[in-house]
């Protein structure tokens, strides 16, 4: 009687017949995408994070406009610096928020209880952090182009910005997971993140600057290579040590 009932209700009899010690594990990619989707749908319902990052970015650009007197001459040499400072600050804002939300409402415990590898959580969070950063950047770039009459919406530039953002989000996600568990929390993240992420920021500034001033490609290639090296190394390290950071 019972068997019949279960069989009719549950459409996945194979899963049911498994011994109870085997837990159904979703594939790595599927689980990662599920976390990304969770973050994105939560964000697109409220736009809390993206709107905050965006408004903050615009404010930073306005401050730079007056602080550096961004006239045509100065602009050419500092544009990439201004952009990356803006992205770095806005990125910290987003990283802090996206982790403290998990921590405050106990969602992190839920994620950790899920029958998936811990690195899935890392990649899920890192990818959604990256997407938030990219959305902000994709909006800031044309706005900056309009305000200062330079064309920043170029494919090569976007490529460099993508690489830089990957490195920044990779280290940032790991460190924000750490800083969210400390007493000083939000205050600590930029202090931990900026010195470690320095190579990403500097190489990105250097590469963007090269592209904007029309330097030869060989000159842009070295910072670009370092950027790729950094991205690969730090994604690998974060992947390896994330377990230690969320262990209870």
Partner 1 sequence: MQNKPVLLTILDAASIIVLGIATYLALVFAPTEAVMGQVQRVFYFHIGTAWVGLLGFVIAAVAGVAYLITKDSRWDRFEVAAVEVSTVFFFITIVLGSIWARPAWNTWWTWDPRLTTAAITELIYIAYFMLRKGIEDPEKRARFGAVYTLLGGISAPITFMVIRLFRTIHPIVIGSANANQEKMSMTGDMKIAFFFGLFAFTVIFIDLIWHRIRLGSLEEKVEQLKLKVSM
Q: Are 224 and 160 in contact (CB under 8 A)?
A: yes
Burial class (CB in 10 A: 0-12, 13-18, 19+), 76: middle
Nearer to partner 1, 48 or 243 (CB): 243
Nearer to partner 1, 50 or 203 (CB): 203
The residue with tokens 């599920």 is 34
Least Å distance, CB 159 to partner 1, is 18
**Residue from 7, 62, 162, 229 that binds partner 1 (CB under 8 A)?**
229
Nearer to partner 1, 57 or 177 (CB): 177
Other beta carbons less than 10 A from residue 47's beta carbon: 10
Whole-angstrom Cα distance, residue 88 to residue 222?
22
Q: Residue 34: which of 118, 128, 110, 104 has the closest Cα?
A: 128
Classify each residue of 16-26 as buried b or exposed e, where b means 16 or more C-beta atoms within 10 Å of its C-beta: eeeeeeeeeee
**Residue from 53, 93, 203, 208 that binds partner 1 (CB under 8 A)?**
203
Tell me: does residue 27 bind partner 1 (CB under 8 A).
no
Residues 178-197 that bind partner 1 (CB under 8 A): 178-179, 181-185, 188, 191-192, 195-197
Stretch in the footprint of partner 1 (CB under 8 A) among 5-13, 113-121, 143-151, 201-209: 201-209
Give me the residues that bind partner 1 (CB under 8 A), please. Answer: 171, 174-175, 178-179, 181-185, 188, 191-192, 195-199, 202-203, 206, 222-223, 226, 229-230, 233-234, 237, 241, 244-245, 247
């Amino acid at each position: 009687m019972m068997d019949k009932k279960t069989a009719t209700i549950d459409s996945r009899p194979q899963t049911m017949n498994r011994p109870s010690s085997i837990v159904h594990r979703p594939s790595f990619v599927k689980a990662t995408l599920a976390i990304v989707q969770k973050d994105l749908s939560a964000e697109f319902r409220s736009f809390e994070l993206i709107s905050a990052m965006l408004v903050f970015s615009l404010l930073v650009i306005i401050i730079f406009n007056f602080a550096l007197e961004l006239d045509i001459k100065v602009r050419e040499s500092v544009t990439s610096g201004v952009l990356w400072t803006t992205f770095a600050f806005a990125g910290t804002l987003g990283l802090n928020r996206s982790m403290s939300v998990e921590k405050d409402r106990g969602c992190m415990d839920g994620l950790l209880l899920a029958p998936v590898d811990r690195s899935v959580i890392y990649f899920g969070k890192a990818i959604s952090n990256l997407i938030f950063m990219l959305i902000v950047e994709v909006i800031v770039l044309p706005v900056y182009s309009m305000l200062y009459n330079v064309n920043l919406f170029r494919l090569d530039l976007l490529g460099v910005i993508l690489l830089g953002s990957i490195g920044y989000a990779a280290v940032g996600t790991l460190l924000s997971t750490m800083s969210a568990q400390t007493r000083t929390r939000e205050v600590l993240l930029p202090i931990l993140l900026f010195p470690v992420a320095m190579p990403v920021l500097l190489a990105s500034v250097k590469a963007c600057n090269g592209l904007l001033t029309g330097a030869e490609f060989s000159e842009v290639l070295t910072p670009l290579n370092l950027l790729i090296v950094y991205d690969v190394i730090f994604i690998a390290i974060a992947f390896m040590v994330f377990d230690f950071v969320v262990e209870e």
